[in-house]
Structure 1
Amino acid sequence: MPRITATDYAPWTAADAARHIAVPVPGDDKYSRGVLGVITGSDQYPGAAVLGVEAALRTGVGMVRYLGGERSSTLVLQRRPEAVTSEGRVQAWLIGSGMDHESRDEAAVAWSTLAMAQALPTVLDGGAIDLHEVKRGPVVITPHFGELARVLGADKGEVAADPAAWAARAADRLGVTVLLKGSRTYVAGGGVALVAASAPSWLATAGAGDALGGILGALVATHADAIAADPAVLARLAASASVIHGLAAHRASVGGPLTILDLAAAVPGVISGLLSRG
């Protein structure tokens, strides 16, 4: 494929993101609004599960089904008692935040295997990005530079030096949509190349990617039918998640430091503001 450069990526704006938010209508129920299945966190990083579930619920889904270890499940329920910690039907999956790809526990492996076999739209983050190899349905991966370098057998410095080209290369080689995290977020896949740059530098903090995964997972779950009809929708949702994530960070920061729970708490207000533009 021809070499892709940053100039080949179309800017994705708040107005674009606003068109990719599902608004409930009279007659909707928790299932029709979208159910997101979440397999995240670990004994080492249980907080990742909490942050992803928190962000997903605040972005807007009918239900989050969380499948994880006892410690992570307990923390998730303490923070968000509306989360459901049993198996059942879902419209999309978020897998991998807070996991180590080299040491996923047996339960996480079993749940992830079942999830990938369902061929539903899936967000693969952190320690599950390598599961793109067993994909059956639409997949978006959300690596940072080091994770993408590992998956492609490349050098992290090379990826960091030209993220636009590497995001497109990964999408073509792996057959997935790629959201490459950084100060500018490059999204490639389904014949689409988009760039979002709405985040403050204060967002470079632990847990930011976990929240982004939750936001994106929620958008995917609420647009599962649209993704099935047009794979390019997945890239647009990924860019929209980045915009919402960045705007929520600005709102939480107000020019200073922020925590990721602050960011998640700001998401509903950001979404309300985006919808009011339309």
Structure 2
Amino acid sequence: MVDVREWSRADTAHLLRVPGASDDKYSRGVVALRTGTDAYPGAGVLGVEAAWRTGAGFVRFIGAGRAADAVLARRPETVIGPDIGRTRVDAWVIGSGTDAADRTRGEEAELRSILTGSARVVVDAGALDLARDATATILATPHAGEFARLREQLDLDPDGTGDRVADVVETASALGCTLLLKGATTLVAASDGTVLSVASAPGWLATAGAGDVLAGVLGALLAANPNASVAEVAAAGAWLHGYAAAGASGMTGGSHGHPIVALDVAEALPAAIGDLLS
């Protein structure tokens, strides 16, 4: 039987890095995102917004067209570039708001370059099909449907065994990386069999774009904690994401709260972090 550790508020606070007098924008963490498309420009906006609001010191967005325009309109602090470039990156976020079926050869080559680089990579949505070929340290972040497809690509039963913990452990081992399986209870499994459980998310978080926000949170925390366990950073990001959603939805004092949209969660991140550090 797999031992599952429940992630806590205190665990999360431990991985929230407070900048000091000697820090600059680079030492706080540089996040680069290759997310969103002309069809889904909002994914880029949500991930970038979340990365900034989680505390990244420098955020780059790699893309053009509607996605780049939308990102710059929302967050003018962001550095926009048409390609992956050669500047410093501490953590990448790729795949959110993209579809592998629409990917060009040039785009695939860039993604593969990221996945064989030295920086940690959050691999989401439309880039998950490339995860098995990665040599970089990666964090794969599928939802249930993507998880089934990923298992099929790895020659595992896409329907699983009926034991969610066993399935995520098996998949992380086959993929050789840390895997975060989204859900009402999020499970994080490292390739060595370590499993962390995160149950901080309110039901209101089941809304379009929430995963794009989570990807940005994860990118920022990975960039700020280069020596920390990827699994622990992933669990901290999922816990913070859920806590920010609870705050955004007004779930205090036993209240049922109210509907939210994904951008509400991103905007609630600074207050959630401040509360955790108080």
User: What whole-Å deviation, never above 9, does each CA across 1:125-181 have from its counterpart, x for those lacking one?
Assistant: 00111222221221110001111111111566547x432121111111110101000
Tell me if structure 2 keeps the 8 A contact 1:39–1:111.
no
Match status 1:180 vs 2:176 = no
Match status 1:250 vs 2:251 = no
Match status 1:196 vs 2:198 = yes
Aligned to 2:12: 17
Match status 1:82 vs 2:84 = no
SS in 2 for 1:123: strand
Match status 1:162 vs 2:163 = yes
Q: Which one has a larger percent helix, Structure 1 or Structure 2?
A: 1
Tell me if structure 1 keeps the 8 A contact 2:218–2:237.
yes
Counterparts of 2:157 and 2:180, CA distance in 1: 18
User: Aligned letter for 2:210?
Assistant: A
Aligned counterpart in structure 2 of residue 219 of structure 1, from 218, 221, 241: 221
Tell me if structure 1 keeps the 8 A contact 2:169–2:191.
no
Matches within 5 A, 1:32-43: 32-43=27-38
Instruction: Provide the aligned C-alpha RMSD in A.
Output: 1.5
User: Aligned letter for 1:121?
Assistant: R
Tell me if structure 2 keeps the 8 A contact 1:68–1:108.
no
Aligned counterpart in structure 1 of residue 235 of structure 2, from 233, 239, 249: 239
The runs of at least 4 aligned residues of structure 1 exceeding 4 Å deviation read 154-157
User: Aligned letter for 1:144?
Assistant: H
Counterparts of 2:164 and 2:119, CA distance in 1: 28
SS in 2 for 1:102: helix
Tell me if structure 2 keeps the 8 A contact 1:163–1:180.
no
Counterparts of 2:74 and 2:106, CA distance in 1: 22
User: Aligned letter for 1:171?
Assistant: A
Gaps of 5+ in 1: 228-232
- Give the superposition deviation at 1:69: 2.7
Instruction: Kindly tell me the number of residue pairs found equivalent between the two proteins.
Output: 264
Aligned to 2:210: 208
TM-score with structure 2 setting the length? 0.91
Gaps of 5+ in 2: 251-256
SS in 1 for 2:33: strand
User: Aligned letter for 2:38?
Assistant: D
Tell me if structure 2 keeps the 8 A contact 1:200–1:249.
yes
Identity %, equivalent residues: 47
